[in-house]
Structure 1
């Protein structure tokens, strides 16, 4: 049976790529999408998300508005990367569909509690592709939802690099307290977690010329939107190709063998002057004597993606958004 999934997004060009994949691939059952402020303010995120799902012909998927801002930080956005509307300023027709009246956390709660009442195959894979504010609020407010979660596969963090700062990846940097809470809650609730971070994020890429084959003037199809999203990134960054970004995390759910993972202790730095928001991935050999470390081992050990079969994931995305699997 298709894998039940819920996406939490801050759409975002790369989130749009991920939404198209999740909405169109026949091996995924997209149960809901929730929105949070991040790449753009939350109202723009909500509008963009509904528009992408319209392009994918998925009016059946409920979409809810969530947190406007981080738990403690002042909100920032990344419209300098994603365009003023947050999704490439493509002049794409906006959706006229109304969002679900529930808050995102309430929609997540209801979907996951329903899944908890069924069999194991019906448990939901939660795929956060944004700052983790909604997920932190969910897990601490309604811990019973853990019974409905198969695993969490989130895009965020990194073992080696940063982008928002030299140390921190944007999603974790945007709300580091939320990320820390989610890792801590997942340790408490015994939820399996995979971190699809910057170590693999940029590798699956689609070329400018390939993107042209997806787009057709006036078509307004999912394939057309996919091609335009890649073309926008090529123009914005002056490259001959662009990453599928967050869509890689969805690929990791569909084809988990496409990434090499290691189970590693992970913390979020909350106090560092230069490193606030960094995911501290502990790659030491803990069989040795670590008694001199005053911090000890992190409570959360999660699967960290360190290498990706980039061509495999790029092809999976292209085949899906172009209609090759429909």
Structure 2
């Protein structure tokens, strides 16, 4: 089955692996890539995206830079997870690819309008670009088949105890997207945190002669410091790439449909995705809740096999 998509990214370590997988999977056609500030400033995100496309010898794909900061809050500094370059220890050569001269929102609009059929948007970043699109051109919601986003959680957070980074980075944007009426598929931390690569496989990849395998090993092996213990641990997760895996092989995941909302209030809960998994609801406030198909479990071994068999040379 062919999947025609627009990618919305903040290319850091796992967005890079997501792009690699999407480019190399035979059933995925990327019509455009929009970039947004998140794992790094948007100019760095765009440059990383172009370099990753070079790495996997991608065909020409339109890439544009978009929002530089969240809708309401000031620009957030990038965290330590992805390093100063956004790609951890990985160093990629200069690219001759160039970005589109238009804002990412205009690139998405143009791509949706010229596509022969509605497209799926796969978002692995804060949802600022998509919120701007849907507020500026609400009629385009009919041209979007669905929004499959890496974000949120029905359990723990990572940016805070309860909030996942992409949603926490711009909760108002998430609220707009959730309220748009576009079908939603949520790939959150419930599965994201579980799909990990062991140290032996990472070492094998890092020592490989193939540049793509070496790059994947470098990304997976990038060390991050656990602030609670001070220990340096490898990143080890395919992260955002699991979202594209879920697109092409949903049978490897367990999805359930539940009401979904995001907490916009100041305080410890800001940015939390509230997934209402009650079987019987006695009362609720007047705020409308979206409905989303939410990934809650996965066959992790099969997902990793799909990822590596697609990305690495055979």
TM-score by length of 1: 0.89
Summarize deviations over 1:267-315 as a string: whole Å, max 9, x none: 11001421010011111124x5x2xx35057431111111111111111
Contact 2:124–2:150 (Cα < 8 Å) also in 1: yes
Deviations 1:61-110 (A, max 9, x none): 11100000000112224341001011114222132321111110011011
The corresponding residue for 1:206 is 197
Sort the Cα spacing of 1:179 and 1:21 in 2 relative to 1 into closer, same or farther, 3 A. same
The separation in 2 between residues aligned to 1:69 and 1:184, in whole angstroms, is 21
Contact 2:89–2:219, Cα closer than 8 Å, also in 1: no
1:316 aligns with 2:311: no
CA contact (8 A) 1:265 1:298 kept: no
Moved more, 228-237 or 36-45: 228-237
Q: Write the distance in 1 (CA, Å) between the matches of 2:234 and 2:141.
A: 43
Q: How far does residue 2 in structure 1 lie from its aligned partner after superposition?
A: 2.3
Alignment of 1:1-326 (within 5 A): 2-115=2-115, 118=116, 122-185=117-180, 187=181, 191-215=182-206, 219=210, 221-233=211-223, 238-239=232-233, 242-286=236-280, 290=282, 293-295=283-285, 298-324=288-314
Do the aligned partners of 1:206 and 1:241 also contact (CA within 8 Å) in 2? no
Cα distance, 1:166 vs structure 2 = 1.0
**More deviation in 208-217 or 11-20?**
208-217
Q: Do the aligned partners of residues 197 and 294 (structure 1) sit closer, same or farther apart at CA in structure 2, a change above 3 Å counting? A: closer
Change in 2 beyond 3 A, CA 1:9/1:75: same
* 1:10-66 CA-partner distances (Å, limit 9, x unpaired): 011011111110111111011111100001111110111111010011141111000
Q: 1:298 to 1:323 in 2, by over 3 A?
A: farther
Distance 2:234 2:129 in 1: 35
- State the alpha-carbon separation in 2 of the partners of residues 168 and 235 from structure 1: 19
What is the CA distance between 1:238 and its match in structure 2? 4.0
User: Residue 312 of structure 1 aligns to a residue in which SS?
Assistant: helix
The separation in 1 between residues aligned to 2:199 and 2:309, in whole angstroms, is: 16
Number of residue pairs the alignment of both structures matches: 310
CA RMSD after TM alignment: 2.0
Which secondary structure does the structure 2 equivalent of 1:229 belong to? helix
Cα displacement (A) at 1:214: 3.1
TM-score (norm. length: structure 2): 0.92
SS of match in other structure, 1:242? coil
How far apart are 1:215 and its partner, in Å? 3.9
- What's the offset of the Cα at 1:217? 7.0
Bigger proportion of residues as helix: 1
Listed as ranges, the gaps of 5+ residues in structure 2 are none
Q: Distance in 2 between matches of 1:3 and 1:62?
A: 17
Structure 1 unaligned blocks of 5 or more: none
The answer on whether the counterparts of 1:11 and 1:48 sit within 8 Å (CA) in structure 2 is yes
Contact kept? 1:112, 1:148, Cα under 8 Å: yes
**Contact 2:223–2:234 (CA under 8 A) maintained in structure 1:** no
Separation of aligned partners in 2, 1:210 and 1:235? 21
